Amino acid sequence: MRYSAYIWDLGGTLLDNYAGSSRAFVRTLAAHGIEATYDDVHRALRVSTAHAVATLVPGVPGFLAEYKRAEAVELATPMLFDGAREVLEAVVAAGGANFLVSHRDRQVLTLLERTGIAHLFTEVLTADSGFPRKPDPASIRYLVDTYGLTDCVVVGDRPLDVEAARAAGVDAVFFADGETCPRATRSISRLRDLLD
């Protein structure tokens, strides 16, 4: 392992949730009589949920809450990306530590339990932890400072994960199939690439 500590994003990085989240968003749009393609929704959600709502359904009261309920149904059976468990276990086996920073609420803890990886994390920060959302680096700085991390990396699937890492003064790995992020220390298309 190249680093002794890994600070992970959850959705789109460890958890393969974009397909289910996109389906839930499209269904919620349809319930409001709004049409959008799955691809348009998927692209917007990759930026952020707030971006998708602002872009595709501005000014529709209650939409976000309805979408979140529909998404929770989709996430009832969460799926990890191929190699996620293997990499997390390898970090721990090498004497390292895994941390998680997610903008989601405490639902994250349930998702980690359902996927059987909760025990592989030293600390998990959720929206309920009180930190500003990424790209603000406060959550990452908290972990670095609290645990004295000197050799760590943030792994995420969006440029805002990379921006948060850079603002916190740590390396960043960008995980996306066929995409790169120029500000990332490294871009990968498979989580197992972290084992190299």
Q: Which of 26, 44, 74 is the last residue of a domain?
A: 74
pLDDT band per the 50, 70, 90 thresholds, residue 177: confident
Both 84 and 154 in one domain: the answer is: yes
Residues 115 and 176 in one domain: yes
* Residue range 143-157: mean pLDDT, rounded: 97
Whether residues 63 and 84 fall in one domain: no
Own/partner pairs, 169-178, CB within 8 angstroms, 24+ separation: 169/144, 170/7, 170/140, 170/144, 171/3, 175/12, 175/13
Provide the pLDDT for residue 30.
95
- Sheet with 123-125, strands from edge to edge, namely 123-125, 97-101, 5-8, 152-156, 171-175, 186-188
- Which residue has better confidence, 77 or 174? 174
Q: What local confidence, expressed as pLDDT, does residue 47 receive?
A: 85
Residues 71-121 have pLDDT tens digits of 989 888 889 999 999 999 999 999 999 999 998 888 899 999 999 999 999
Q: What is the pTM of this model?
A: 0.87
Task: DSSP for 99-154, please give it.
Answer: EEE-SS-THHHHHHHHHT-GGG-SEEE-GGG-PPPTTS-HHHHHHHHHHT-SSEEE
Determine which helix (DSSP H) or strand (DSSP E) holds 60, and give its type and residue range. Answer: none
Q: Is the pLDDT score of 152 beyond 90?
A: yes
- Count of domains for the chain: 2
Q: What is the DSSP letter of 171?
A: E
| 171 and 144 belong to one structural domain | yes
| CATH code of the domain containing 54 | 1.10.150.240
Same domain? 9 vs 22:
no
Contact criterion met (CB below 8 Å) for 7 and 155: yes
CATH number at residue 128: 3.40.50.1000
Over residues 6-60, the pLDDT tens digits come to: 999 999 999 998 889 999 999 999 999 999 999 999 999 988 899 999 999 988 9
61 and 117 share a domain? no
Residue 157 has pLDDT above 90, yes or no: yes
pLDDT of amino acid 18 = 84
- Tell me, yes or no, whether 11 and 62 share the same domain: no
Which of 74, 90, 117 terminates a domain? The answer is 74
Burial of 92 per CB tally in 10 Å (0-12, 13-18, 19+)? middle
* Whether residues 87 and 173 fall in one domain: yes
Same domain, 190 and 97: yes
Instruction: Let me know: does 99 contact 124? Beta carbons within 8 Å.
Output: yes
Query: Which of 74, 90, 119 is the endpoint of a domain?
Result: 74
Q: Domain of residue 69: give its range.
A: 18-74
What is the Cα 42 distance to its own chain's centre? 14
Over 90: is that where the pLDDT of 149 sits?
A: yes
Query: What is the pLDDT at residue 46?
Result: 84
- 31 and 62 inside one domain: yes
Q: Are 98 and 176 in the same domain?
A: yes
Go through the chain and tell me how many residues it has.
196
Both 85 and 155 in a single domain? yes
Residue appearing with tokens 């740590």: 170
Q: What per-residue confidence (pLDDT) applies to 41?
A: 95
